[in-house]
Chain A
Amino acid sequence: MAEITLKALAHSYSSHPVQGSDYAIREMNHIWEQGGAYALLGPSGCGKSTMLNIISGLLQPSNGEILFNRERVNELKPEERNIAQVFQFPVVYDTMTVYDNLAFPLRNIKMPEHNIRSKVHEIADILDLTEQLKRKAKGLSADEKQKVSMGRGLVRDDVTAILFDEPLTVIDPQLKWKLRRKLKQIHEQFNITMVYVTHDQLEASTFADKIAVMFDGQIVQFGTPRELFENPAHTFVGYFIGSPGMNFLDVEFKNGGVNFAGKTLPLSSQLIAKIPADAERIQIGIRPEFVQIWSEPQDGHLDIEIDYCEDLGTYKILTFRFADQVLKARLSEDQPIPTGKAYVSFPQQWLKLYINDYLIEEPA
């Protein structure tokens, strides 16, 4: 079990970094607590694989420190850190059987053979690999190979954390489900710290207790899937989480209220009071799930024009235009789409205010 601390950690791949954009990871402080299941979520190039390799020791950070249980480990090699890592590309030792693959890490530390046997059988059972134990690893399918890779991490008693680098990339969509469930079950059973890197927000949400969203080398928000969904701290989080992402409207601060195309949007006065006079960019965000569509006008309903509707089986996405901006609403499968005039309302509690991309919250 390990508590992993990042202290003033930064990393640049160039030898003489000058400006912020030279850094793959900008200076950050962060603690991954013991036993948690964490996801590191972000688009390609945001620095998440770099972060993972720094934690496992395959890469040494150019600045700052990384601590395991409060002790500095910058100089420790991966072999010395007791970390297991599962890669994007399933790595198995082709010439060995599945049994030998799973036994390999234990044999390297000279564990007695009978202990190895019980450990391997235990893990093979959890991963549903018991039938394949005698087979040569070369002939397995991609998902079975990934399970073997995971197994090699799990057999070890001394493992403090398991790191996953986009492990489901090469797996068929039908089988991704099964493997995700397996990962969750493993976490519940073993209580090891697990860090899972991905660019798929659904994967991150279903696996992790808490997600760290990375953007441009920084962790912009660290919270539970629910927090990230209901209260995105940064416009990027609003955009990246949820399918489709959050709707954003550029608004003006005029006459003591937030104005958009001649209409004043409802916001609490406490929130409005927090807008600084020199704010560069003011945006209002609301998630498509909370946008409400009506076919009858009522107080507070605003005119819209419907562009088109996509039927995605379990839900529908309505793309509409609200005073020159394109927005989306997510409707349930059975909800009828207005055929003539249509109206929208934005429930006040779901409207979020963003100044220069950061969330302004009401005082508690």
Chain B
Amino acid sequence: MNKIENNKAWFLVLPVFLLVAFSAVIPLMTVVNYSVQDIFDPYTRYFVGTEWFRQVMHDPALRGALLRQFIFSFTILAIEIPLGILVALMMPTTGKAASAALILIAIPLLIPWNVVGTIWQIYGRADIGLFGAAMNALGWEYNYASNPTHAWMTVVLIDVWHWTPLVALLCYSGLRAIPEVYYQAARIDKASRWAIFRFIQLPKLSNVLIIGVLLRFMDSFMIYTEPFVLTGGGPGNTTTFLSQSLVKQAVGQFDLGPAAAFSLVYFLVILLVCWLFYTTIMNMQNDKKV
């Protein structure tokens, strides 16, 4: 819908423009600046061109972190998306039960992220944590602090607990948007429950699911707080994901140059994935217009 041409609206956008400029664009330019310089201290710096970029691409620690990050993101996507759909399918649709269910489901989303990490840190401890103690009592030597596999499982579990509700809520609203007629027609066609899911619900959820996958991928790819609070990146570096590696390098070691360089690479990877999703969504919408 085209509105009549008029320039007054630009003035309304100016404050936001300035705000974004200060809080995002200028810091970003600073990072770019650092990424091409070797900084010894605030007063001594040398231009080094693309040397940092070459170095970080070959750094085994960073590569390891990148690999771990991808594995993590794909794992949680594989669990959260189907689980979220399942939860949405099971939620009641009308009446007080529906409101109660929505509130219950939304609770994990409201908890501050470091609190989430802390909750699980205590919850999973073998001595005083309910979960940890229970697991050990059942005979399974569960210890997330010393066993890498257990640490991984716990971090994945935290993320699933924390973020599946988001997927569930998105799918819930998507399901509500399906007109009743479709279900009626399917019943008359004697479709099984599975067929209804496969041919009516899933296709109609596709838009919502794309958004869900996009959001979850981006967020999980940038994850920092929960694993840091839970394991500090350990044992060793088995749960050190990308953001934590960068923080260690930039803040811990004060290697601003390489850290800045890798930040940019990190940023570009996320941008690339987002662009892929965006194009997919646009194509799907164009298909619908036909």
A77 on the B face (CB < 8 A): yes
Interface contact A79-B188, CB-CB below 8 Å:
yes
In the complex, what residues of A have CB within 8 A of residue B287's CB? 138
As a 0/1 sequence over residues 185 to 224 of chain B, the CB contacts with chain A under 8 angstroms (1 = contact) are 1011111100100011001000000000000000000000
Chain A to chain B contacts (Cβ below 8 Å), 23 pairs: A56-B188, A58-B184, A78-B184, A78-B187, A78-B188, A79-B188, A83-B188, A85-B184, A87-B181, A89-B181, A91-B181, A93-B199, A94-B203, A104-B189, A104-B195, A104-B199, A105-B189, A105-B190, A109-B190, A138-B287, A138-B288, A138-B290, A152-B185
Total of A-B residue pairs, C-beta within 8 Å? 50
Nearest-CB residue, chain B, relative to A163: B188
Query: What B residues does A93 contact at CB under 8 A?
Result: 199-200, 203
Interface, chain A (partner B; CB < 8 A): 56, 58, 77-79, 83-85, 87-89, 91, 93-96, 104-105, 108-109, 138-139, 149, 152
B95 adjacent to chain A (CB < 8 Å): no
| Smallest beta-carbon distance B214→chain A, Å | 21
Q: Does any Cβ of A come within 8 Å of B179's Cβ?
A: yes
B70 within 8 A of A: no
Nearest Cβ in chain B — how far from A109, in angstroms? 6
Q: Is the CB of A77 within 8 A of B199?
A: no
Q: Known contacts A93-B199, A138-B288: does B187 contact A108 (CB below 8 Å)?
A: no
Distance, CA A58 to CA B182, complexed state (A): 13
Which B residues lie at the A interface, using CB under 8 A? 179, 181-182, 184-185, 187-192, 195, 199-200, 203, 287-288, 290
Assembly CA distance A61 to B203 (angstroms): 33
Chain B residue contacts of A104, Cβ below 8 A: 189, 191, 195, 199
**A160, chain B: closest CB distance, angstroms:** 12
Distance, CA A247 to CA B243, complexed state (A):
83
Residues of chain B with a CB closer than 8 A to A152's CB: 185, 189
Given A84-B188, A88-B181, A138-B287: 12 more A-B contacts, CB < 8 Å: A56-B188, A85-B185, A91-B182, A93-B199, A93-B200, A95-B199, A95-B203, A104-B191, A105-B190, A108-B190, A108-B195, A138-B290
Judging by beta carbons under 8 Å apart, are B185 and A108 in contact? no
A55–B203 Cα distance when bound, in Å, is 30
CB A92 to nearest CB in B, in angstroms, measures 9
Query: Smallest Cβ distance from B103 to chain A, in angstroms?
Result: 28
A95 proximity list for chain B (CB < 8 A): 199, 203
Residues on B with beta carbons closer than 8 Å to the beta carbon of A149 = 185
Return the chain B residue nearest A152 by Cβ: B189
CA–CA, A83 and B287, complex, Å: 33
Set A87, A108, A139: member contacting B184, Cβ < 8 A: A87
Nearest residue in A to B202 (C-beta to C-beta)? Answer: A95
Are B187 and A91 in contact (CB-based, < 8 A)?
no
State in angstroms the CA–CA spacing of A56 and B182 once bound together.
Answer: 15
